[in-house]
Amino acid sequence: MMQLKKTVLEIITGDGQEGGVLFEAPPQGNPRISETHAEQLAELCKQVQARTPSVLTITCSPHRVGHHSCVAVKLAGANDCVNLLLTITGTLRWPTPQDYAQAPRWYINLPDAVDAVYLVTQLAERLQIKAN
């Protein structure tokens, strides 16, 4: 079994524009997220639960699209699923309310791999499931 070191996510004041990352990851410290990004993460979890109230598994499929590293994430419940595409672009972009309402897959651009790893682990923790 492989697992990521269990950490406590700290929420810090501000809008998260410093450095342009989703999660700050200081050496030997816990990851931190701004209040603004914490709200976006909570909205993502709310939207997932609205489509799939009981998520049972997360399946991650890393791949590349063009020159970008990506992780296709499938959050599956008993009768439905939500698909995310996390793309490492060097910038941060959350789904818009229109994306949540209309898109069959939600696209999230992330600055780096640290953000991708912590985002998936936060989804697993907040939706109370184990990642596959």
What would the pLDDT profile of 39-73 be if each residue is shown by its tens digit? 999 999 999 999 998 999 999 999 999 999 999 99
Q: Are strands 130-131 and 105-110 parallel, antiparallel or unpaired?
A: unpaired
Whole-angstrom Cα distance, residue 27 to residue 64?
A: 28
Q: What is the pLDDT of residue 132?
A: 54
- Whole-number pLDDT of residue 129: 74
pTM score, two decimals? Answer: 0.90
Q: Residue 126: its pLDDT value, please?
A: 93
Give the residues across from 107 on adjacent strands. 85
Which residues of the chain are modeled with pLDDT < 50? none
End-to-end C-alpha distance for the chain, whole angstroms: 10
Predicted pLDDT of residue 128: 84
pLDDT at 29: 83
